[in-house]
Structure 1
Amino acid sequence: MPIVRFGSTHNSTNDDGVIHIQIDNPTGRRPDAAFVDLTPSIDDFPGRIYDLIVFQWDVAYINVRVRRTDTNAWAGRGQGLNVSWMCLWSR
């Protein structure tokens, strides 16, 4: 039976439009799959829609690149976003 972990937090992007997410890992192994959902606060960013690319994950983290679809540009520094993540480990 696979192991699945979920979590959520509020993180901000760095200068490269990247969010670094710490994960709860019960296995000590790199997850086989990592999924992230980003939901901006509507009050902070009215009308903005974000795409994301999960580009790196390891034993303790997931890195996500955030792109604004209204400008087709990478998000700048300090874009605070609510982040939900899920990781899957096979046995």
Structure 2
Amino acid sequence: MDELQEQVRRQLYRFQDLADQMKAVRGRETSEDGAVMAEVDGIGALTDLQFSSAVSRMTPGEFEQAVVSTAAQAARRAFERRAEIVNRFNEEVAG
């Protein structure tokens, strides 16, 4: 019975670690020209958006494109990080 309790306790700690790691996931990207920096959390929600003075030289369309593409790349980075965490967790649980 003690062994079973310890096994359950270890799995509970693994799940808690997984949850903590998932909460901490961030993706950050800066546009090639440095005009836009976007950061998103592990579910792709925007957590930070910063602009340099370079945006003043952009047309509205260029500005829109820079924001959208930079935020999308930040989200891809965050999702890649989440996938790495989940894959590592699955390997640990299976092993």
User: For the superposition of Structure 1 and Structure 2, which TM-score range results when normalised by the shorter chain?
Assistant: 0.3 to 0.5
Normalised to the residue count of structure 2, the TM-score between the two structures is 0.33
* Larger helix share, 1 or 2: 2
